[in-house]
């Protein structure tokens, strides 16, 4: 499964890719030593990333972590996609202000089943090891849990912000929630993880893993945290519940359109976290006027759509978006209507041909108000004559018609 002949041996090259887009590496010197040892012994490092199957749909925010896992795969290391089927029935309290509802075994199983198909769009499934933490946690006895709990203090647990805040506000914290970070830490012991990846909001849990490994006599894992990707609104973390997300199972058209709505400022973060492009180069080209911000955004959308739908579909969506932009939002799915008419009068066509308006009086009024466009240009002349033998895109407010006069 792991072809060590293809393992990157140069630690500096590895570190350059590994550190791209990260928030924090704890500890950098340990990471270098691990990489140097792996190169010397020709033994890949074990990279762990845990996912609780609390929701079955993956969006671009999730892929920030998946792409970092792919970087480690490309460098020749062993990546473990850990599904927390056992811990999901507890519920991770990270960043929440109240106790989370527990999932049923059926809910966990249903959600976990959808993961492999989705993550294959980012990760190399042939080189991926998928594990479930019920393999070891499901076999843990009361004595084993007591031993685990004895290796960590309540004081350390209350250093965590969400626990500390809830404690000060006298909000409920269950003992089960205290157990969650310990079980996640024990996952690292069971897998003998060299590196654990996670979002920046998971830092406390990841560091508990270091402590638990040390308590069990193992070499401690390096912790690498990734940023939380803002959604399309540019403010809140990308989330399906907030509606500011781009799902990796969405159609190419939906994906491309949503990405084009991203702000110019947020565009650069998407470049860094969702593509392998040189974001510094893109910034310079835009700043120097060599690349228009809109074109930079089109390039970004094409790169991301290519990952999930292929290059052909990405090019198609770029062309359709460009056409719609030039036509000022004229829909691409309007059916062409051929009209046999002696009159080429715009007023006549609006009423009798395209049936966009009810009367000639209304048609004249709309033209005078500047509410009528032909081929993207406003028409103010009520005596306007249209050109025959040519496709004409006519718009009146939110009404559209594509006609050919003969």
pLDDT band at 66 (very low <50, low <70, confident <90, very high): very high
Q: What's the rounded Cα separation, in Å, for the pair 195 and 50?
A: 12
Give the model confidence (pLDDT) of 209-243 as tens digits: 999 999 999 999 999 999 999 998 888 889 877 88
What three-state secondary structure class fits 357? coil
220: CB partners within 8 A, 6+ apart: 30, 210, 211, 213, 214
pLDDT band at 161 (very low <50, low <70, confident <90, very high): confident
- Are 81 and 131 within 8 A, CB to CB? yes
Q: What are 334's two structure tokens?
A: 């309007």
**Least confident piece of the model among 49-63, 182-196, 315-329, 357-371:** 315-329
Q: What's the rounded Cα separation, in Å, for the pair 209 and 49?
A: 12
Give the model confidence (pLDDT) of 97-117 as tens digits: 444 556 677 777 777 777 888
Alpha helices in 75-196 (DSSP H): 105-113, 115-119, 134-137, 142-149, 154-157, 161-168, 175-191
Task: Kindly tell me if the per-residue pLDDT of 1 is higher than 50.
Answer: no
Q: What pLDDT is recorded for position 102?
A: 64
Tell me the percentage of the chain whose pLDDT exceeds 90. Answer: 46
pLDDT: which is higher, 372 or 398: 372
Confirm whether pTM is higher than 0.85: no
Average pLDDT across the chain, whole number: 86
pLDDT band at 314 (very low <50, low <70, confident <90, very high): very high
Give the model confidence (pLDDT) of 45-64 as tens digits: 999 999 877 666 789 999 99
């Amino acid at each position: 499964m792991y072809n060590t002949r293809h393992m990157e041996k140069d630690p500096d090259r590895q570190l350059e890719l590994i550190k791209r887009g990260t928030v924090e590496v704890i500890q950098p010197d340990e990471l270098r030593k691990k990489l140097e040892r792996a190169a010397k012994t020709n033994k890949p490092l074990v990279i762990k990333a845990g996912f609780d199957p609390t929701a079955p749909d993956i969006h671009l925010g999730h892929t920030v972590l998946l792409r970092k896992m792919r970087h480690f795969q490309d460098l020749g290391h062993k990546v473990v996609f850990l599904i927390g089927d056992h811990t999901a029935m507890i519920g991770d309290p990270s960043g929440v202000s109240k106790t989370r509802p527990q999932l049923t075994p059926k809910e966990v199983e249903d959600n976990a089943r959808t993961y492999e198909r989705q993550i294959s769009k980012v990760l190399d499934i042939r080189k991926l090891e998928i594990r479930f933490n019920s393999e070891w946690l499901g076999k843990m006895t009361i004595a084993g849990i007591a031993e685990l709990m004895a290796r960590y203090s309540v004081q350390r647990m209350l250093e965590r912000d969400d626990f500390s805040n809830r404690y000060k506000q006298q909000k409920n914290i269950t003992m089960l929630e205290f157990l969650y970070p310990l079980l996640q830490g024990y996952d690292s012991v069971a897998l003998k993880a060299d590196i654990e990846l996670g979002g920046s909001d998971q830092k406390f849990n990841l560091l508990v893993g270091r402590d638990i490994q040390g308590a069990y006599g193992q070499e401690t894992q390096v912790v690498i945290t990734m940023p939380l990707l803002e959604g399309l609104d540019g403010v809140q973390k990308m989330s399906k519940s907030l509606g500011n997300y781009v799902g990796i199972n969405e159609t190419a058209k939906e994906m491309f359109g949503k990405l084009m709505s991203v702000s110019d400022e947020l565009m650069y973060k998407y470049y860094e976290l969702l593509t392998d492009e040189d974001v510094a180069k893109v910034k310079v080209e835009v700043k120097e006027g060599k690349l228009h911000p809109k074109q930079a955004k089109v390039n970004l959308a094409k790169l991301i759509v290519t990952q999930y739908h292929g290059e052909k579909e990405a090019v198609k969506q770029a062309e359709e978006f460009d056409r719609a932009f030039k036509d000022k939002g004229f829909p691409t799915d309007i059916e062409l209507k051929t009209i046999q008419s002696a009159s080429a009068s715009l007023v006549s066509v609006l009423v009798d041909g395209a049936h966009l308006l009810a009367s000639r009086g209304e048609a004249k009024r709309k033209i005078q108000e500047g509410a009528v466009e032909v081929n993207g240009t406003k028409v103010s002349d009520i005596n306007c004559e249209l050109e025959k033998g040519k496709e004409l895109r006519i718009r009146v407010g939110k009404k559209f018609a594509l006609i050919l006069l003969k």
